[in-house]
């Protein structure tokens, strides 16, 4: 899609490197797939070859001997490919998860006012947005992990142009602008817009959207700049494993803007009882605890946050 960041951007480059590792039958096949991508493919090739094999590189100059280089590239490539294939193995229903190039757009706003009025306002403005655009927007209220009164809106979009078009439509919609003005006295701090790219293909519920009353656990962290590839592989593996244990999809996403290396895991349960049951299964699962124990220095200290939100509209 023309509005997407090209593969010269960090996360698109890493996502394409992971996909070629996953789909290639050999090292040579991976290099052919990289060339077919076009664009800034030299970095993708370097990730698939040099970085997966832990080849010594100074700047852009390889310092390994030719024979050692050939052996290390192929063995390292196979090992990394095995890891990626394991992290992206078929789900419990046997379907192969395929990558896709959508974004998840979120807007967070903290409102101070009578809860019955502010929540009714949040639900009403969500309805107006959905009536005026072709994007399905859901509205969530924070229960834990954010200041009281935090409201979040979320939507999957194809590209940034779709967000711009939606904003232009709403700016000329009198019903929408009237509701925005009504909340002026409730907003004490600026809101925050977040754009994330899903890096796995966690499925949505059969209905397409979580039901009213659904519960979303959102875990965020910032990957260490020196361990980006390791953090990505770990994040994908944990998302897939957690989904298998909890029984519901978990989406692993990378922040497109904001602090470099920002990632998020979002798991949705149909209600709070299901969320409690999923937590109990995870906390008693040895495989999950083993993965958490391998966290090490993959992420910046103190960067993690866990929040819980419930859908109201």
Domain chopping of the chain, boundaries = 10-87, 95-313
Cα distance between residue 153 and residue 194, in whole Å: 10
CATH number assigned to the domain covering 95-313: 3.30.70.100
pLDDT digits (tens, 9 = 90+) for 84-110: 444 444 444 443 333 344 899 999 999
Q: Other C-beta atoms within 10 Å of 77: how many?
A: 22
Work out the pLDDT band at 252, boundaries 50, 70, 90: very high
- Is the whole model's pTM more than 0.75, yes or no? no
- Per the model's pLDDT, the better-predicted residue between 87 and 295 turns out to be 295
Q: How far apart are CA 174 and CA 110, in angstroms?
A: 23
What is the Cα–Cα distance from 167 to 173, expressed in whole angstroms?
10
Give the separation between CA 121 and CA 102, rounded to whole angstroms: 29
Cα–Cα distance list, 266 to 29, 187, 215, 242 (Å): 33, 26, 10, 11
Q: How many residues does the chain have?
A: 313
């Amino acid at each position: 899609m023309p509005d997407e960041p090209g593969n010269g951007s960090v996360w698109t480059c890493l996502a394409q490197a992971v996909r070629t590792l996953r789909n290639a039958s050999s090292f040579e096949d991976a290099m052919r797939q990289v060339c077919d991508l076009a664009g800034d493919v030299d970095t993708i090739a370097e990730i698939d070859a040099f970085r997966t094999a832990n080849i010594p590189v100074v700047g852009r100059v390889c310092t390994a001997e030719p024979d050692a280089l050939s052996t290390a590239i192929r063995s390292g490539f196979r090992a990394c490919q095995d890891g990626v294939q394991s992290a992206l193995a078929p789900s419990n229903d046997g379907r192969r998860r395929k990558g896709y190039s959508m974004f998840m757009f979120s807007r967070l706003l903290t409102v101070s006012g009578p809860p019955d009025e502010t929540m009714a306002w949040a639900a009403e403005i969500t309805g107006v947005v959905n009536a005026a655009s072709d994007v399905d927007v859901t509205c969530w209220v924070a229960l834990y992990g954010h200041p009281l009164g935090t409201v979040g809106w979320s939507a999957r979009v194809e590209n940034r142009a779709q967000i711009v078009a939606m904003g232009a439509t709403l700016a000329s919609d009198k019903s929408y602008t009237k509701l925005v003005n009504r909340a002026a006295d409730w907003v004490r701090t600026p809101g925050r817009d977040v754009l994330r790219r899903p890096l796995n293909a966690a499925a949505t519920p059969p209905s397409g959207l979580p039901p009213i009353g659904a519960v979303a656990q959102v875990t965020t962290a910032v990957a260490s700049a020196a361990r980006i590839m390791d953090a990505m592989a770990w994040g994908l593996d944990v998302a897939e494993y957690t989904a298998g244990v909890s029984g519901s999809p978990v989406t692993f996403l990378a922040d497109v803007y904001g602090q470099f290396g920002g990632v998020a895991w979002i798991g949705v349960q149909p209600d709070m009882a299901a969320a409690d049951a999923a937590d109990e299964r995870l906390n008693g699962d040895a495989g999950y605890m083993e993965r958490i124990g391998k966290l090490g220095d993959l992420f910046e200290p103190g960067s993690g946050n866990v929040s819980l939100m419930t859908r109201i509209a």
